[in-house]
Structure 1
Amino acid sequence: MTFAVDNSYARDLPGFYVEWQAARAPAPRLLRLNRGLAFQLGLDPDGLERDGALVFSGGRLPEGAMPIAQAYAGHQFGGFSPQLGDGRALLLGEVTDRAGRRHDIQLKGSGRTPFSRGGDGKAALGPVLREYLIGEAMHGLGIPTTRALAAVTTGETILRQEGELPGAILTRVAASHIRVGTFQFFAARGDDAKVRQLADYAIARHYPETAAADQPYLAFYEAVAEAQAALIARWMLVGFIHGVMNTDNMAISGETIDYGPCAFMEAYDPATVFSSIDHQGRYAYGNQPLILEWNLARLAETLLPLFDADPDRAVAKASEVLDTVGARYRGHWLAGMREKLGLWHDHGDDLALAGDLLTLMAAQGADWTLTFRRLATDADAARALFRDPSAFDAWLPRWQARRAPDAAMRMAAANPACIARNHKVEEALAAAYRGDLAPFDRLIEVLADPFTERPEFEAYTLPAPASFGRYRTFCGT
């Protein structure tokens, strides 16, 4: 059994990719199928359970598929690489879901492409399952995200720093894989015609309402800025750290993409970094709003010729939008924080009230998720998270005076009981390497409904034990 795909990206944007084929997997095996997502996409889950090993390893192409490796560039940790591209991924095509929305279907870890830059183009089992888990965690939290449709093992071993590991391929679903770096690839080559062509495609696919604006390309840029400001605010509100906010990892659609060295923060500290390669803390938790603006400035640079033929006027128009990004982000963040705190109407003191709590949490290492969740129902339980609760005791009456009558209900809906706790993620991945997927499946079950407290899942609500040590993440997929 297979399914049919469209190829609007390949059809409408010749020269933006290289046609390519997946490497042959010697013994593909379907490890997990995201049946709910398959149904949402209008696919047949039962048929995919039967034939998914071949389909999701690239051995049997969907009807109409034309596998391509997409071209893009990107700023990586601030340094510009004019050619990156899909070095281990292939876009099979697009499907339209039951709601009429178009989605890319991409294989990740399917072998070398012309963009591989010396890599083997493969992925190991652990990073594939990690991306599957974190994508589902973000989806459960209601945060726009790419998702995993399937994970397959390939029947081969691949060499990594940790030794020989089982190879795997992730099938990723995204609103599209157009990145800031996609625009940068052609802008860096001075190909304004292709930048315009890409912008027209992105407008039609993601922001069709901007096509009717007096200045459609400026309206498009503003729409991307708004989507990204809302997205990063939602990351911050759940303590998520992406870890590698390079411009090639910033999707024009406003979805979270590329779950490499990401993780959820436990003890609140704005300087938290998990990525093993982020030595300077560029992508620390507290820097994410700043990198949002930096990345959007890089996007604006690629679009300047479309904003106005006069360079000075083009820069002025871009700056007008860029100057609003900080306020957009703060507006989304404060609205979300009001929900997290269950505040009664808007008040001029709300920012200070939230900021003072965060200062206390940072000073005493209070757990981000537990503090807000416990405030909803049991202030004493929240108090116990602070080593010296006297400052919390001074803050509490200010919050209680602002708390809405339905605060507990609102806060329970805004503050998850469970997140993808780092030690639970690692437990699931370690077990998977041993051939035991039960911890992975149980974690997926927990993350599908993170706002409901269930006694049987209490262990998933608690921070890592001290023995877990300092957590480090790595780029894997």
Structure 2
Amino acid sequence: MSTALGTPTLEDTYAQAVPDLVVPWAAAPVRDPQVVVLDEELAAELGLDPETLRTSGLLVGRVPEGVRTVAQAYSGHQFGMFQPRLGDGRAVLLGEIVAPDGTRHDLHLKGSGRTPFARGGDGKAALGPMLREYAMGAAMHALGVPTSRGLAVSTTGEKVDRDGGALPGAILARVASSHLRVGTFQYAAAHEEPTPVRALADHAIARHYPHAADADEPYLELYRCVVDAQASLVAQWLLVGFVHGVMNTDNTTISGETIDYGPCAFIDGYDPTTVFSSIDHAGRYAFGHQPMIARWNLARLGECLLPLIDADSDTAIEKATTVVQSFTQSYDGYFADGMAAKIGLAEPDYQLIADLLALLGTEKTDWTTFFRALSQGTARDLFLDREAFDSWAARRDALTDPAAVAAMDRVNPVYIPRNHLVDEALTAAEAGDLAPFHELLDVVRRPFDERPGLERWTEPGTGPFVTYCGT
């Protein structure tokens, strides 16, 4: 089904392909919606008119007659514990938009009220967490990291009760190439026979990896593609110092995009054990653990695909194991290539990179500041043990490539969403002052361009920093 919006249409190929994995559901009525922030550039990419978006009510779930909105079902391992029934507890999928360039995107609401998958919450969202996801998506997009993106945040005219008291309610309208997750496959595998898993896999292939349909083993090729996409994604997270904070299987996408920004943050000083999330007491999703967790999550996807990979279970396990084991080599390659670009090498030198990480870890050097300073010749000043840095720098200088050195400022940002300044902006927004939030957006949307007056955005915070999921 597709229904005209006066711009592109909303389609529902996912709901048609796997009807057992969705529940028809509408967003809760909103009393007084007000668009707080709208990404007009993204709207243009989608072929949508910003002024129509501001007034039509689409951004809070008011869809034209005939459009079928749904809540999506999925399972997931949450902190290693399997939950067979999760799903969109406070979200609805409005449909899919085919942009003028032919690409297909989900339009999805978050904070739009309770659904049948709600697990005790009120289904609503507060303004601060929705603005956080909007800003983080904008930052990651500007950094070149695959991500879902916030199209808009709208207040609802209601208050929601949270630990901090009554807060302004809000809805995030976000865009992603899809919301297919490892957890989606887990739900299909746990609740149905292999046929729905096959339908889901066929849809994933058509949506994201159409070349796999022509492979000798299409479902094994699908698995290879997802493993490689996630290896690339997680490498990019570490290269920019990003900590997702809640890498459950239901937050691991088939597309290889970052999704569900909750207790996420960027590291200041380099420390692989860094944890920001208030609920990650054991450090399962620490900064340096993210590659290992991604591989673990992908192994769970492989388990779901086994009946499709081969009729003989032993053969299927052997083939899937080979694929998931390839994650480590792929990740190492992506990370090493990225690090080579960050330090001005045409090709990676694994030992040089390992020694740099050890040096940065010893002194907890600010991750973002170091790489930018390296291209400007001022990195030495960041170290107490300057002899150790000099020794490393002499080895690096002997290997540098002029073209790679010239390109360093295009891969090493000046600005990231500094955690304390993000919180400052969100607190002000919840109190009615959006100026700091707009400054935040202006900074993170141009991360590689050094600009006067933004010096405080280059400074790390002081003391430990804690983030919360915001539900």
1:351 maps to 2:353: no
**Residue 65 of structure 1: how far off its partner (Å):** 2.4
3-state SS of 2:454 partner = helix
One-letter code of the match for 2:383? F
3-state SS of 2:250 partner = helix
Name the structure 2 match of 1:456.
Answer: 453
One-letter code of the match for 2:420? H
1:13 to 18, 29, 34: 18
1:27 to 17, 29, 32: 32
3-state SS of 1:473 partner = coil
* In 2, Cα distance between equivalents of 1:2 and 1:24: 22
Q: How does 1:406-425 map to 2 (within 5 A)?
A: 406-425=403-422
3-state SS of 2:151 partner = strand
* In 2, Cα distance between equivalents of 1:387 and 1:98: 53
Name the structure 2 match of 1:364.
Answer: 363
One-letter code of the match for 1:253? S
Name the structure 2 match of 1:56.
Answer: 59
**Residue 2 of structure 1: how far off its partner (Å):** 6.2
Q: Could you report, residue by residue, the CA deviation over 1:245-289 in whole angstroms, capped at 9, with x for unpaired residues?
A: 000000101100000001000100000000000000000011001
Name the structure 2 match of 1:472.
Answer: 466
**Residue 185 of structure 1: how far off its partner (Å):** 0.4
One-letter code of the match for 2:354? G
3-state SS of 1:159 partner = strand
One-letter code of the match for 1:142? G
1:120 maps to 2:108: no
One-letter code of the match for 1:382? A
* In 1, Cα distance between equivalents of 2:48 and 2:64: 11
3-state SS of 1:169 partner = strand
One-letter code of the match for 2:206? A
**Residue 346 of structure 1: how far off its partner (Å):** 2.7
3-state SS of 1:103 partner = strand
1:383 maps to 2:383: no
Q: Could you report, residue by residue, the CA deviation over 1:356-402 in whole angstroms, capped at 9, with x for unpaired residues?
A: 11111111110000001100112xx2122223322112211111111
* In 2, Cα distance between equivalents of 1:64 and 1:446: 41
* In 1, Cα distance between equivalents of 2:453 and 2:214: 52
**Residue 407 of structure 1: how far off its partner (Å):** 3.9
Contact 1:273–1:281, Cα closer than 8 Å, also in 2: yes
One-letter code of the match for 1:184? Q
1:45 maps to 2:50: yes
3-state SS of 2:108 partner = strand
Q: Could you report, residue by residue, the CA deviation over 1:12-71 in whole angstroms, capped at 9, with x for unpaired residues?
A: 2211111111111121111111100000000011222333xx22122x214652110000
Contact 1:242–1:263, Cα closer than 8 Å, also in 2: yes
One-letter code of the match for 1:57? V
User: What is the RMSD of the two structures over their aligned residues, measured on CA atoms?
Assistant: 1.2
1:318 maps to 2:317: no
* In 1, Cα distance between equivalents of 2:36 and 2:449: 28
* In 2, Cα distance between equivalents of 1:66 and 1:2: 17
* In 2, Cα distance between equivalents of 1:358 and 1:62: 54
**Residue 458 of structure 1: how far off its partner (Å):** 2.2
One-letter code of the match for 2:34? R
* In 2, Cα distance between equivalents of 1:198 and 1:91: 17
TM-score (norm 2): 0.97
2:144 to 138, 142, 145: 142
1:200 to 199, 202, 227: 202
**Residue 119 of structure 1: how far off its partner (Å):** 1.1
Contact 2:78–2:249, Cα closer than 8 Å, also in 1: yes
Q: How does 1:278-293 map to 2 (within 5 A)?
A: 278-293=280-295
- Structure 2 unaligned segments of length 5 or more: list them: none
Name the structure 1 match of 2:329.
Answer: 327
Deviates more, 1:182-191 or 1:225-234: 182-191
Q: How does 1:264-279 map to 2 (within 5 A)?
A: 264-279=266-281
**Residue 475 of structure 1: how far off its partner (Å):** 0.8
3-state SS of 2:20 partner = coil
3-state SS of 1:236 partner = helix
Contact 1:33–1:149, Cα closer than 8 Å, also in 2: yes
Distance 1:431 1:405, change over 3 A: same
* In 1, Cα distance between equivalents of 2:22 and 2:100: 28
Contact 1:233–1:329, Cα closer than 8 Å, also in 2: yes
Name the structure 1 match of 2:442.
Answer: 445
Q: How does 1:146-165 map to 2 (within 5 A)?
A: 146-165=148-167
* In 2, Cα distance between equivalents of 1:49 and 1:456: 32
One-letter code of the match for 2:116? P
Contact 1:20–1:90, Cα closer than 8 Å, also in 2: yes
One-letter code of the match for 1:383? R
Identity %: 56
Name the structure 1 match of 2:80.
Answer: 78
* In 1, Cα distance between equivalents of 2:66 and 2:415: 41
Contact 2:139–2:445, Cα closer than 8 Å, also in 1: yes
Contact 1:150–1:171, Cα closer than 8 Å, also in 2: yes
Distance 1:28 1:320, change over 3 A: same
Name the structure 2 match of 1:173.
Answer: 175
Name the structure 2 match of 1:433.
Answer: 430
Contact 2:17–2:200, Cα closer than 8 Å, also in 1: no
* In 2, Cα distance between equivalents of 1:38 and 1:145: 16
Q: Could you report, residue by residue, the CA deviation over 1:78-120 in whole angstroms, capped at 9, with x for unpaired residues?
A: 0000000000000000101121100000110000000001111
Distance 1:310 1:355, change over 3 A: same
Q: Could you report, residue by residue, the CA deviation over 1:396-425 in whole angstroms, capped at 9, with x for unpaired residues?
A: 111111111234421111111111110111
Contact 1:5–1:63, Cα closer than 8 Å, also in 2: no
1:132 maps to 2:134: yes
Contact 2:76–2:183, Cα closer than 8 Å, also in 1: yes
Q: Could you report, residue by residue, the CA deviation over 1:215-245 in whole angstroms, capped at 9, with x for unpaired residues?
A: 0000000001111100000001001000000
One-letter code of the match for 1:475? C
Q: Could you report, residue by residue, the CA deviation over 1:147-173 in whole angstroms, capped at 9, with x for unpaired residues?
A: 000100001111111111110000010
* In 1, Cα distance between equivalents of 2:26 and 2:97: 19
**Residue 6 of structure 1: how far off its partner (Å):** 0.8
* In 2, Cα distance between equivalents of 1:312 and 1:406: 49
3-state SS of 1:387 partner = coil
- Structure 1 unaligned segments of length 5 or more: list them: none
